[in-house]
Amino acid sequence: MADTATLEAPPAKAGHHQPGTTGMSNQKLAMWVFLASECLLFGGLISTYLLYRDTTLDGPTAGEIFDIPFTSVSSFVLLMSSLTMVLALSAITRGDHPRGRLWLLTTALLGAVFIGGQVYEFTTFYREGLGYTTSPFSSAFFTLTGFHGVHVSLGIVMLMSLYISSARGKLRTEQSETVEIVGLYWHFVDLVWVLIFTIIYLTARGI
Amino acid sequence: MSDAAIDTDVEHAGGHDHPSDLDYVKVFVALLVLTAIEVATFFIDMPTPMLIGSLGILMSVKIYLIAGWFMHLRVDNRLFTRFFITGIIGAVTVYLIMLSTFVLWDTFDF
């Protein structure tokens, strides 16, 4: 029973994430469980791509079509957005909300630049003869990178929601964990891109 | 679970100090340098096993830096790390099962 007493949650404050019976924030725990499940999703998509990347039929191969310098710039943009995300969290935790909003907006803009680059890349590939149904390789590639793009887009929506909440004064310093949880999602999306960039793009030379 | 263990977890959950802004910038610069080296390997002619090995090491270091520093797993509750590693192990397992299904079984024509 001593354990039960120790595990009792402290009284709740309005709008603040309280630790649950595990002694940690339930919202943060839920986000980590969600991210663990996302590992399985992207693991399956990356596996599918690796299995089909040589099955190009009459369409272009990865080695012929990938533009590594362009994708490297996209990777730089997404890495930069991870930095601005942690700087946003740091500023809001300190109570510096104007600076926090600036970093949140910068993160969302960098995410939008990444998505713009992906749309440009997809359009270029399509013009060069790589459609979604051209080959098993193209289907696996567009599904994997498209899913990642959808995740980035959802992240931008979350970031803009935080920005609007902060601008309206509804995101207080003691609620900084909300920013941290959105940040976890954003960094995870960046982490998945690190995998995609290395496994899908940089190993395409010999294909 | 003992009281001491629970107290330690609670401390990890809420009482940790996040890195400073300068630390974050240093981690970002390290990530940038690692990415530049990764991109350079694409243009350098080297044997495939060496290319895969070096890219694997660089990618792992980048993942450690992002998860450890930006996602605060270094200082946060260890349970979060366990969840994340379980997810990664699950993902690798999915890949191995698919590989064995599509490649090995097909090769041996069961």
Q: Which two tokens stand for residue A34?
A: 């969600």
Q: What is the pLDDT of residue B15?
A: 47
From chain B, the residues in CB contact with A85 under 8 A are 70
Window from A41-45, A146-150, A196-200, B6-10 with minimum mean pLDDT = B6-10
Predicted confidence (pLDDT) at residue B12 exceeds the cutoff of 50: no
Window from A131-135, B49-53, B96-100 with minimum mean pLDDT = B96-100
Stretch 11-50 of chain B: residues touching chain A, C-beta under 8 Å:
12-14, 18, 20-21, 24-25, 28, 31-32, 35, 38-39, 41-42, 48
What would the mean pLDDT of B57-63 be, rounded to a whole number? 96
Average pLDDT, chain B: 82
Amino acid B61 reads V
Q: What is the pLDDT of residue A204?
A: 86
From chain B, the residues in CB contact with A40 under 8 A are 87, 90-91, 94
Interface test with B, best of A79, A102, A192, A193 (most B CBs within 10 A): A79
Asked if A32 lies within 8 A of B84 by C-beta distance, the reply is yes
Side-chain half-sphere CA neighbours of A153 within 13 A:
11
Nearest CA in chain A to B92: A43
Distance CA B17, CA B35 (A): 28
Q: What is the pLDDT of residues A88-114, one digit of tens each?
A: 999 999 999 999 999 999 999 999 999
Q: Are B41 and A202 in contact (CB under 8 A)?
A: yes
Q: What is the pLDDT of residues A130-170, one digit of tens each?
A: 999 999 999 999 999 999 999 999 999 999 999 999 999 99
List the one residue out of A49, A51, A200 whose CA is nearest residue B106. Answer: A51
Predicted confidence (pLDDT) at residue B9 exceeds the cutoff of 90: no
Asked if A93 lies within 8 A of B18 by C-beta distance, the reply is yes
Asked if B63 lies within 8 A of A195 by C-beta distance, the reply is yes
Q: What is the pLDDT of residues B32-45, one digit of tens each?
A: 999 999 999 989 88
Angle, helix A26-52 to helix B78-99, in steps of 10 degrees = 20
The more confident residue out of B17 and A73 is A73
| Residues 6 or more apart in contact with residue A57 via CB below 8 angstroms | A134, A135, A136, A137
Q: What is the pLDDT of residues A49-62, one digit of tens each?
A: 998 999 999 899 99
Interface test with B, best of A195, A200, A202, A205 (most B CBs within 10 A): A202
Residue B9 in contact with partner chain A when CB distance is under 8 A: yes
Cα of A3 to nearest chain B Cα, Å:
6
List the one residue out of A15, A20, A49, A24 whose CA is nearest residue A140. Answer: A49
Interface test with A, best of B25, B46, B94 (most A CBs within 10 A): B94
Q: What are phi and psi of A10, to 5 degrees?
A: -70, 160
Q: What is the pLDDT of residue A207?
A: 56
